[in-house]
Structure 1
Amino acid sequence: MRTGWQLLERPAKHEVISSALADSEASGVVIIGPAGVGKTTLARSVTSSLPGRARWAACTTSSSSIPLGAFAQWVTPTEARDPIELLVSARQSLLADGPAVIGVDDAHLLDQLSATLLHQIAVERTGSIVATVRSGEPVPDSVMTLWKDGYLHRVDLEPFTREECIALVESVLGGTLEELSANVIWSQSGGNPLFLRHMVEAALEAGTLSEVKGVWQLRGATTVSSGLATLLESRFDHADPDAVTALRLLSLCEPLDLDALVELAGEKAIDAAEKAELIRIDRDGPTLAARISHPLYGDVIRRQIGTASARMLRGQIVTVLNRRKPTSVAGRIRLAELYLDSDQTADTGLLVAAAKDAVSLANAPLGERLARTAFEREVGMRPAHLLSRALMWQGRPAEADQILARFDPDDLDEGQLLLWGVPRASIVFWSLGEVARAYEVMELLRSRVTNPILRPMVDAADAAFTIFENKLPEGLAKAEAVLSDPAAPEQAVETAAFAAGMAMPLAGRGDEFTAIVARCFDTQKSTDGLIRMLARYGEVLALVHTGEFDKAETQAANYAEFSSSGEFLGWAIAKTMSGLVATYRGRFADAIPTLEQALAAFNAENSLPWRLPGRLLLARAYAGLGRADDAERVLAEAAEHVGPSVALFDPQVLVTKAWIAAARGGGRRAVELSRAAADAAHRSGQLAVEAEALHDAARFGDRRLARRLQSLVANVDGPLPQLYARHAAAVADSDGDALDAVSVEFERAGLLLSAADAAAQAAASHQQRQDRRREIESVTRAMRLVSLCGGASSPAIRAAARPLPVTARELEVAELVAAGLSNREIAQQLSVSVRTVEGHVYRACLKLGVSDRDGLAAIIRPGGTRDPQS
């Protein structure tokens, strides 16, 4: 990891200041901004690029009371007390060598005589001035008039943008910063470079900012370094004590309703804090709310509050808030959290309700804390149910199972049995992979839960398990029965929608599922935020399989926006959605970092099964760029999740293997694996996946698929199967014109790599007919599309990029030679004899004018490397 904090260039501001200094109508610039925003750094950067040496005066609080204190180093030692003589002495020293560049740091602290000297130089234009002023501080009139009267150009320096913050932190860390963590760091630092540096260094020291699989993640509260705390504490030391009182209360509970804060601190304290710019008052709907003006102020103030004082202050806040009886989710959660750390005892019912709220918002860590407190106080089924779900989502299934194991199902009534059984079956099925044991729990639920209001919860869970075992018709029938039941409870509907969302898009019923999402989720609040996010994943999956890529991309971005710092699991699911869209569009350069961040966010003590679809997508994206070794590595990692509980993804695994084979140059093997994927998908009713796999086979050169694809058109929602069928027919006929036309349609639909492949295949067809002009046009189009895909690679694209005088089989063998395979390995992969492979190698070398395998590899893949992207 790099440790140096380098100046992040601000070229636009640098240019503005340089231009102002070159302006004959002005004497320089004044840079105004908050403390730590980088005023001095920028000013010194500009002056260092100017000819001659700049003379810098640094103003301080102590020097502000000394006549000419800022310019003392240029005043000739004298016993004279005449201010005119002192001014003359300083002026002569500063300008002894002619016009100079004069820098003044913190010009708002200039003493009156120094301000007068600076004003004289500006008015007479005998020097160029670069001054910095801290915003919000009183400025002497003689200094303020410098820019008000036009002698100095005013440049306001804003905090870093989010993008600038990320760029700076990543340059220091030497790696990718997770977007969710970047949002927290940016918002907490306020974009202030000084605060940013202290925050990152403190987080690294505390271990809350750490690297997970190449992605830097912030987990836990942000930390304030001792250096920054000292810097900020000095401001509070000079503030009105009443103002600090208001700040102390807000540091423990923010925002606070203004009326509540008035009751706690008094009007005088709030007025003083607002005047000192320590707090701000914003309208929050129909009410006014008080907030701390900068997030780090709260962190520093909390460091000054002892444990006993903090508990007492929270107790006071709790008393006031409890009288107002919060009715919102946020209000209940905040009140419950305050209770936990106060000198008062919360009602267990409030803790359970707040834990349920937290889980419904996909904030599993917070849900765990609240539910655990309630459970330890009163061992009941409701807190146990919430606690087990929160632990399961965080990849701690053994702990979750232990919580539920404390209950004997024979002692539970139907409602309690349901709260016990569904999470326990889920833990055992998905997290532990023990399908038989999960079905034992489900059989117990089916036999004992007969209440018609509760029974849909059992059926919905049963549907999800059945679908993940890849029994789509049976599982969908169960899910649809729950979704069509108007009396089904909200959690049953969510679970059934999750199950249907994982199956309907794959079955070619994407349009049906988007209608289900619109009907079910627009009228009901969530009972489990992560289940709902997985159902939303199904929505994006449906939009992708029905060809609505723009809408899918928008929805994925919207769902990522819903996640806050504590909801990184929901955020990871949303990022997987974005990676899904980018991968299917062929935008692999976007897909890879997005999916890597999602997978890193899924990091847990026990690997979460929700990593599997992300890993399969990431492997396909790597393979799409020709990075076969990286794709193999990710696919090997995905193998930790295998068996009946994830059988739903078996066809996708074969699709991924086909892409890896294609990346290694094995066109024939890629076709075989694509056909195997299509057959596996057909057997389980995954008709959309079948169509996709057949399309891949046609892209890899299979000419026998047009009729089979056409048969799927009427059974799979959306326009894509028809496009796939047209493409397969054009491949079968080697019709270059038709391939060019379908390439245009693929691009219009948003399938960029499919468009590139079709154009590359068109080029090969035009070449066979010796239509050089059309061949060049198709190759040019293919290469343009390849660039949009981030430099994608496929058998058709590689052939179009390097048209060679060899047969398709000779090219395939040459590709495998270039990938580093021996003749025997090639023979095994192609199911031919070693002698046959040797013959193909010999003829390819003869046609290409090379003498051996190394020469052949160098032509096929310059450099002869196994993985051209590594």
Structure 2
Amino acid sequence: MPHGWQILERPSEFSEVRSALTGAGSYGVVLVGAAGVGKTTLARSVTESLRSQVHWVASTESSRSIPLGVFAHLVGPSTSRDATALLASARESLVSQGNSIVGVDDAHLLDELSATLLHQIAVDQTGRILATVRTGEPVPDAVTSLWKDGYLRRIELQPFTKKQSVGLVESVIGGRLEGLSADLMWKSSGGNPLFLRHLVEGSIDAGTLRKVDDVWQLRGPTAVPSGLVELLESRLEQSGEDVLGVLKILALCEPLDIDALTELAGDAAVDAAEMRGLIRFQQDGPTLNARFSHPLVGDVVRSKIGRAAERRLKGQVVQILRRRGLDTPASRIRMAQLSIDSDQSVDNELLTTAAKDAIYLSNLPLGERLARTAFDRTGSLQAGALLSRALLWQGKPAAADDILAKFAPDELDELQLVQWAIPRLSTLFWSMGEVEKAWKILELANERVRHPSLALVLDATAAALTVHQNEIGEGIDKALTVLADPQAPDQAVEFAAFAAGLAMPVAGSGDEFEPIAARCRAEQKTTDGMIRVMVRYCDVLALTHTGQLDLAAKRAADYADFSSVGQFLAWAIAKIMAGVVATARGDFPEVVSSIEQALAALSAESPLPWQLPGRLLLARAYAALGRVGEAERVLNDAAAHSGPSMALHEPQRLISKAWYAAAKGMERRAVELARAAADNARHSGQFALEAEALHHATRFGDRTTAARLAELTGVVHGSPAPLFARHAAAFAASDAAGLDAVSVDFEHAGLLLSAADAAAQAAHLHDAAGDRRKTNESGANALRLADLCGGATTPAVKTAARPLPLTSREREVAELVAAGLTNREIAEQLTLSVRTVEGHVYRACFKLDVADRDELAKLIKKKS
């Protein structure tokens, strides 16, 4: 393990306990909490901070049967059997020195005489007491009265919050914990520090908690190591066989409604399990469900159930649940899971429907398991198509294609042909790059399918393929035609919405996607939950491109609420949504955090195509933060997704490369790449991307973008395009006041790094005009805004931070000199002659009054 476990401070609780021990009129405290919550740790840390003498004793099950057991060592060699004499002797030893504290760990295990001694000390106020008591355990009356009668303060020690739990784990593993894994670990541990420690250590040893691309993620079941097993088993052994029977049933089917649980295990046993704090009840709508108080208890109980008992117990649950309606996805999934592992018969239609439900809910590992079981039992195309889709979305395209290759299209009817063709061509197109083969399958299906609704499904699929090949206008037309048809089935609507949602925002009509997104949100029908997730991504993309950043962030947050770790792929795409909004805002630390986690979650046997937009955002964020090496690595990784099937993202790839060039100090190259991105976007109909690319070129120093940006304000909807045009016009006219004004408006719009660049460009112009006051004001504003973006370092911001009397080309060459490149290497990068580079170096040295190349490099590094 990278780091050792540390004590996580609880400042408010520490202060409260310390005050109870030292304050006037207070004579101690009883800390109450669950086993492992940190009572003893907190108690000991408080007493260690005091100068008082502390007598610590720890009660145990064995000492409970001995009168004055934990205090026996204080009585001495007396053979007296007089309880009063024994109490007096022990009391004298404890409080004779004055200002002493009696510390009792696990006071609920005190024998009656010891509890009486503690009570006497509190009543007589002859010493201060610090005791710990475990929640859910029987407590001697003498101890209970300590707080009930007001002698001691009772403090409930709560489990760690999620933030505390994640902070503790990350301090131990020495890295960032994936958000979805953090949710699972916090819920599994219940925020209990001891449970959390055992869970982390056990999962690392089992290999289920591992580091992927600098992000730690938990995949597979949580591992419970021997130390925690022993702790929990001792508690279970004391609960009795009837309570253990309740726990075994719940371990196989959590949550379970109270009626089913009591029918199976009996009222008395269920009540006893609740009273011992092993289970709890939670109202889920109209149903009162039983759950474990700590999920890790379920893991330990499951280890005590043999295969035969498991099949029998699950069979009993199935018999009860069969009497109820299976009218929700959750109920069908549960019944299917229980049935296939029970001694009861399995309904094949239920298996297929439950597999579809799981895929609908984006739980692809579960969908794969159920679909594979159905496919193995029936060999049906419906089950095979579901299995193929679940495999595809998990980055297993070859396995997905193998399933569908088992079917001969000539033997399929129209419906079956569509069910076969859509998943197969999707695999070929997006994951295997077999573009021509995918279109041929679509053509084959179109030749044979005559049913209008099925033809619409094929048309919607064609729209999605067309958009991804960067034929934006044609793709939008195809998608809108499907969406306008009242006969369009759900699958056609969703595929068409997916196509339109990717194309309309970049085309400049993102506002027109809102009613489509609203329709999909309202209907909530799908056969493929991942397509629904994609439509949600498109929703956030459209809002971002039209400048509605607050609403985009809210939608992204709303869409990121997932109920199970099995939905990690959908969770990853939700993280990319957050990255889209954060990139627009210039919140690059958030971009890095979100996208790194997304890419780790999207890691698979074969690269998933949805890694591409995430990687392009991440590369831009790294470049803006000056992390050039990481930006280069991510751009190289993104090359794995290049090709005609992902041509839609080519403008974004060129924009990211432009930012990488700018981060390396190659400003002219950055302008060239931004202009190339604009040209590509213009020719394909991505007019919003064209406007954005020209805006980047302006920020890198291009003064020729104003005319085209002015034209685009009549084409691209939303607030950003007019701001881009105003910025370009002010920059072209060397209008410092205009740049200051547009900087303010950029900031109000939430485009913070654009605001920083406009202010930085204004500062340069003020400086050239000799207006020192305005130079300082604009420069300070630029640096303030850049700091809000995580300390971003754009070419314009660099100039504002360290104005140098150099031309842009001289500064570019000087940056590369500082990076350690030779004149020949600089010439190759900038496509110049070596003699020209030497001339720029000479003039830069002359203007900056340095003697040679080495001093030039030192000065540039110092200014950085």
TM-score normalized with structure 1 length: 0.97
Q: 1:535 Cα deviation (Å)?
A: 1.4
Paired residues for 1:459-608 under 5 Å = 459-608=459-608
Q: Name the structure 2 match of 1:670.
A: 670
1:490–1:524 CA contact under 8 A, matched in 2: no
Matched, 1:756 2:760: no
Question: In the alignment, residue 704 of structure 2 is paired with which amino acid?
Answer: R
Q: Name the structure 1 match of 2:139.
A: 139
Matched, 1:437 2:437: yes
Question: In the alignment, residue 497 of structure 1 is paired with which amino acid?
Answer: A
Q: Name the structure 2 match of 1:361.
A: 361
Q: 1:127 Cα deviation (Å)?
A: 3.1
Distance (whole Å) between structure 2 residues aligned to residue 273 and residue 125 of structure 1: 38
Q: Name the structure 1 match of 2:619.
A: 619
Question: In the alignment, residue 786 of structure 2 is paired with which amino acid?
Answer: V
Distance (whole Å) between structure 1 residues aligned to residue 861 and residue 752 of structure 2: 23
> What secondary structure is seen at the aligned counterpart in 2 of 1:24?
coil
Matched, 1:78 2:51: no
2:136–2:275 CA contact under 8 A, matched in 1: no
Q: 1:96 Cα deviation (Å)?
A: 4.7
Q: Name the structure 2 match of 1:24.
A: 24
2:505–2:542 CA contact under 8 A, matched in 1: yes
Matched, 1:391 2:353: no
Q: Name the structure 2 match of 1:811.
A: 811
Task: Give the superposed CA RMSD.
Answer: 1.6
> What secondary structure is seen at the aligned counterpart in 1 of 2:452?
coil
Q: Name the structure 1 match of 2:161.
A: 161
Distance (whole Å) between structure 2 residues aligned to residue 126 and residue 843 of structure 1: 86
2:810–2:841 CA contact under 8 A, matched in 1: yes
> What secondary structure is seen at the aligned counterpart in 1 of 2:640?
coil
Identity percentage of aligned residues:
61
1:240–1:273 CA contact under 8 A, matched in 2: no
Q: 1:829 Cα deviation (Å)?
A: 3.3
Paired residues for 1:646-725 under 5 Å = 646-725=646-725
Question: In the alignment, residue 411 of structure 2 is paired with which amino acid?
Answer: D
> What secondary structure is seen at the aligned counterpart in 1 of 2:596?
helix
718-727 or 219-228, which deviates more: 219-228
Distance (whole Å) between structure 1 residues aligned to residue 195 and residue 274 of structure 2: 22
Q: Name the structure 2 match of 1:232.
A: 232
> What secondary structure is seen at the aligned counterpart in 1 of 2:641?
coil
Q: 1:419 Cα deviation (Å)?
A: 0.8
Distance (whole Å) between structure 1 residues aligned to residue 855 and residue 119 of structure 2: 76
> What secondary structure is seen at the aligned counterpart in 2 of 1:80?
coil
637-646 or 101-110, which deviates more: 101-110
> What secondary structure is seen at the aligned counterpart in 1 of 2:487?
coil
Q: 1:374 Cα deviation (Å)?
A: 0.8
Distance (whole Å) between structure 1 residues aligned to residue 576 and residue 513 of structure 2: 19
Q: Name the structure 2 match of 1:114.
A: 114
Deviations 1:79-111, CA, capped at 9 Å, x for gaps: 111223222322333345442232110112222
Deviations 1:753-777, CA, capped at 9 Å, x for gaps: 0011111111111111111111111
Distance (whole Å) between structure 2 residues aligned to residue 252 and residue 652 of structure 1: 48
Q: Cα distance 1:448–1:586, how it changes in 2: closer, same or farther (>3 A)?
A: same
Unaligned residue ranges in structure 2 (runs of 5+): none
Question: In the alignment, residue 582 of structure 1 is paired with which amino acid?
Answer: A
> What secondary structure is seen at the aligned counterpart in 1 of 2:583?
helix
Q: 1:396 Cα deviation (Å)?
A: 0.6
22-31 or 181-190, which deviates more: 22-31
> What secondary structure is seen at the aligned counterpart in 1 of 2:239?
coil
Q: 1:806 Cα deviation (Å)?
A: 2.6
Q: Name the structure 2 match of 1:311.
A: 311
Distance (whole Å) between structure 2 residues aligned to residue 3 and residue 805 of structure 1: 49
Q: Cα distance 1:80–1:524, how it changes in 2: closer, same or farther (>3 A)?
A: closer
Count of residue pairs the alignment pairs up: 864
Question: In the alignment, residue 646 of structure 1 is paired with which amino acid?
Answer: M
1:547–1:719 CA contact under 8 A, matched in 2: yes
Q: Name the structure 2 match of 1:727.
A: 727
Distance (whole Å) between structure 2 residues aligned to residue 853 and residue 119 of structure 1: 83
Distance (whole Å) between structure 2 residues aligned to residue 126 and residue 724 of structure 1: 77
Q: Cα distance 1:546–1:350, how it changes in 2: closer, same or farther (>3 A)?
A: same
1:26–1:150 CA contact under 8 A, matched in 2: no
1:583–1:617 CA contact under 8 A, matched in 2: yes
Deviations 1:433-463, CA, capped at 9 Å, x for gaps: 1111111211111111121111111111111
> What secondary structure is seen at the aligned counterpart in 1 of 2:51?
coil
Distance (whole Å) between structure 2 residues aligned to residue 208 and residue 366 of structure 1: 17
Unaligned residue ranges in structure 1 (runs of 5+): none
816-825 or 367-376, which deviates more: 816-825
Deviations 1:536-582, CA, capped at 9 Å, x for gaps: 11111111100011111111111111352111000010001011111
Distance (whole Å) between structure 1 residues aligned to residue 600 and residue 556 of structure 2: 18
Paired residues for 1:736-747 under 5 Å = 736-747=736-747
Q: Cα distance 1:86–1:385, how it changes in 2: closer, same or farther (>3 A)?
A: same
Distance (whole Å) between structure 1 residues aligned to residue 251 and residue 563 of structure 2: 23
Deviations 1:831-859, CA, capped at 9 Å, x for gaps: 33322222222222233232232322232
Question: In the alignment, residue 261 of structure 1 is paired with which amino acid?
Answer: L
Distance (whole Å) between structure 2 residues aligned to residue 851 and residue 43 of structure 1: 66
Q: Name the structure 2 match of 1:457.
A: 457
Question: In the alignment, residue 788 of structure 1 is paired with which amino acid?
Answer: L
398-407 or 13-22, which deviates more: 13-22
Q: 1:342 Cα deviation (Å)?
A: 0.5
Matched, 1:193 2:200: no
Q: 1:785 Cα deviation (Å)?
A: 0.8
Distance (whole Å) between structure 2 residues aligned to residue 641 and residue 53 of structure 1: 68
Question: In the alignment, residue 836 of structure 2 is paired with which amino acid?
Answer: T
> What secondary structure is seen at the aligned counterpart in 1 of 2:560?
helix
> What secondary structure is seen at the aligned counterpart in 1 of 2:477?
helix
2:247–2:298 CA contact under 8 A, matched in 1: yes
Q: 1:240 Cα deviation (Å)?
A: 4.2
> What secondary structure is seen at the aligned counterpart in 1 of 2:210?
strand
> What secondary structure is seen at the aligned counterpart in 2 of 1:129?
strand
Question: In the alignment, residue 93 of structure 1 is paired with which amino acid?
Answer: S
Question: In the alignment, residue 502 of structure 1 is paired with which amino acid?
Answer: L
Distance (whole Å) between structure 2 residues aligned to residue 835 and residue 654 of structure 1: 30
Distance (whole Å) between structure 1 residues aligned to residue 395 and residue 73 of structure 2: 64
Deviations 1:239-263, CA, capped at 9 Å, x for gaps: 2433332222111112223222233
Distance (whole Å) between structure 2 residues aligned to residue 53 and residue 2 of structure 1: 37
Q: 1:626 Cα deviation (Å)?
A: 1.2
Question: In the alignment, residue 856 of structure 1 is paired with which amino acid?
Answer: L
491-500 or 615-624, which deviates more: 491-500
2:667–2:808 CA contact under 8 A, matched in 1: no
Distance (whole Å) between structure 2 residues aligned to residue 759 and residue 371 of structure 1: 57
Deviations 1:417-441, CA, capped at 9 Å, x for gaps: 1111111101111111111111121
2:3–2:171 CA contact under 8 A, matched in 1: no
Q: Cα distance 1:673–1:147, how it changes in 2: closer, same or farther (>3 A)?
A: same
Paired residues for 1:318-357 under 5 Å = 318-357=318-357
Q: 1:3 Cα deviation (Å)?
A: 4.7
Distance (whole Å) between structure 1 residues aligned to residue 119 and residue 520 of structure 2: 70
Q: 1:265 Cα deviation (Å)?
A: 2.4
Q: Name the structure 1 match of 2:403.
A: 403
Q: 1:368 Cα deviation (Å)?
A: 0.7
> What secondary structure is seen at the aligned counterpart in 2 of 1:504?
helix
> What secondary structure is seen at the aligned counterpart in 1 of 2:465?
helix
Q: Cα distance 1:93–1:259, how it changes in 2: closer, same or farther (>3 A)?
A: closer
1:2–1:171 CA contact under 8 A, matched in 2: no
Q: Name the structure 2 match of 1:69.
A: 69
> What secondary structure is seen at the aligned counterpart in 2 of 1:26?
coil
Q: Name the structure 2 match of 1:799.
A: 799
120-129 or 758-767, which deviates more: 120-129
Q: 1:689 Cα deviation (Å)?
A: 0.4
Q: 1:600 Cα deviation (Å)?
A: 0.3
> What secondary structure is seen at the aligned counterpart in 2 of 1:506?
helix
2:53–2:99 CA contact under 8 A, matched in 1: no
Q: 1:723 Cα deviation (Å)?
A: 0.2
